[in-house]
Amino acid sequence: MARHPDRSETTARTPTVYDVADRAGVSIATVSRVLRTPDAVREATRERVLSVVRDLGYVPSGNARALAGRRTGVIGLCFPGHDGLEGDRDPLRVEGGVRVVDDRRNGAPAGGSNLYFDEVLRGAEVEAWRRGFALMVAAGRGPSREVIVNDIAGRVDGLAVVARTVSNELLTHVARRIPVVVLADATQADGFDHVSVDNSAGMQALVTHVVGELGVRDVVYVAGPPDSPDDAERQLGLMSALAAHGLADVPRVAGEFRRDTAHAAVAELLRSRTPRALVCANDQSALGALDAVRERGLRVPDDVYVTGFDGLDVARFTEPPLTTVGQPMAELGRAAVQAVVDRLEAPGKPLTATRLGVELLLRESCPPV
């Protein structure tokens, strides 16, 4: 009969998975399942194994897993160009103390975190942990993108990348070594698995509400970046809804998916005229539009309807609450990680394209009829 090591023995050296399995009376595969996918193990067994893990102070060895499976146990999530540090910034304050700032301002804040990517990241973290992987996140701007992508690709088993933040040539190069999944893009014949949301249908439903149900003919679209596949799809939905109601097109201003940029663009627009509806490419742009409308002394929705796209939590607490298209941002992150892991487990399977549904959230900024 195997002898269980006592505490003096196990504290004198680093405990192993074999020590945990021996003391808990289970196989090393069961120990692995408890630590990676605990819901797949019966509660009594799970609690017994976790009790031994705590008692021995056992910590899984990433290096050992990598040697055993020739894997790192890490999935990469790459957001080049989306580091959340937009605009000019003061130098980092490291001397401590308190600085008093008069922060009473009506204008839109410059920069700030990108709440969309925060949600995608949260979902990716949850799914990576559930599938037994750690998540490595990378972001960067300009010429550093290639360096960053190559660097993270050498440290992970697979990579999820936001569409068009990295060239297809670079992704093709990376995909020779590890699986690559592209987020937020329509299916393309580019050799990658894709995960996206139904941007076109969501915007079509929103504009149908504005133009078809509310009868608005004077609409301005606050557009996203010209290279954004998400905005390209949303504009397809916009045009489809307009055509269905006898409108050829509407004017556009550049919001760039940013609150400060949209604020400036809408403020400039309102100096010359007031459209009946501002349809914004995302919620960040809609927040900037609301800022500009308020500064002009106009009322939403009495004078101007304002809509967004994303379904950020903050949109429920604007004044008034924002009508928007809610997309499952956290689920997008989860689906991307699932696609990477599925590709790792079945490298030869056909390419996949996962498209998640959206919902039209009618609130006070552009209410139901």
The 10s digit of each residue's pLDDT in 241-259 is 999 999 999 999 999 999 9
pLDDT of residue 240: 98
Handedness of CA 275, 276, 281, 282 (dihedral sign): positive
Are the C-beta atoms of residues 131 and 337 closer than 8 Å to each other? yes
| Domain-embedded: residue 367 | no
Is 335 found in the same domain as 188? Answer: yes
pLDDT at position 299 over 70: yes
Is 349 found in the same domain as 285? Answer: no
Average pLDDT for residues 234-245, to the nearest whole number?
Answer: 98
Average pLDDT for residues 341-366, to the nearest whole number?
Answer: 95
Is 117 found in the same domain as 27? Answer: no
User: Within a 10 A sphere around the Cβ of 151, how many other Cβ atoms?
Assistant: 13
Is 134 found in the same domain as 33? Answer: no
| Domain-embedded: residue 130 | yes
pLDDT of residue 189: 65
pLDDT of residue 104: 65
| Domain-embedded: residue 104 | no
pLDDT at position 9 over 60: no
Is 178 found in the same domain as 127? Answer: yes
Percent of the chain with pLDDT over 70: 83
What are residue 77's DSSP bridge partners? 137, 160
pLDDT of residue 363: 97
Is 322 found in the same domain as 204? Answer: yes
pLDDT at position 80 over 70: no
| Domain-embedded: residue 36 | yes
Is 287 found in the same domain as 207? Answer: yes
Is 220 found in the same domain as 297? Answer: yes
| Domain-embedded: residue 118 | yes
Where residue 288 sits, what CATH number does that domain have? Answer: 3.40.50.2300
**Least confident residue range of 5-19, 161-175, 230-244, 314-328:** 5-19
Q: Which domain holds residue 206?
A: 199-328
Is 166 found in the same domain as 213? Answer: no
Are the C-beta atoms of residues 30 and 49 closer than 8 Å to each other? yes
Is 226 found in the same domain as 210? Answer: yes
| Domain-embedded: residue 3 | no
Are the C-beta atoms of residues 23 and 4 closer than 8 Å to each other? yes
Is 148 found in the same domain as 119? Answer: yes
Percent of the chain with pLDDT over 90: 59
Are the C-beta atoms of residues 25 and 43 closer than 8 Å to each other? no
| Domain-embedded: residue 101 | no
Is 319 found in the same domain as 210? Answer: yes
pLDDT at position 47 over 80: yes
Q: What's the chain look like in SS3?
A: CCCCCCHHHHHHCCCCHHHHHHHHCCCHHHHHHHHHCHHHCCHHHHHHHHHHHHHHCCCCCHHHHHHHHCCCCEEEEECCCCCCCCCCCCCCCCCCCCCCCCCCCCCCCCCCCCHHHHHHHHHHHHHHHHCCCEEEEECCCCCHHHHHHHHHHCCCCEEEEECCCCCHHHHHHHHCCCCEEEECCCCCCCCCEEEEECHHHHHHHHHHHHHHHCCCCCEEEEECCCCCHHHHHHHHHHHHHHHHCCCCCCCEEECCCCHHHHHHHHHHHHCCCCCCEEEECCHHHHHHHHHHHHHCCCCCCCCCEEECCECCHHHHHCCCCCEEEECCHHHHHHHHHHHHHHHHHCCCCCCCEEEECCEEECCCCCCCC
Number of domains into which the chain is organized: 3
| Domain-embedded: residue 91 | no
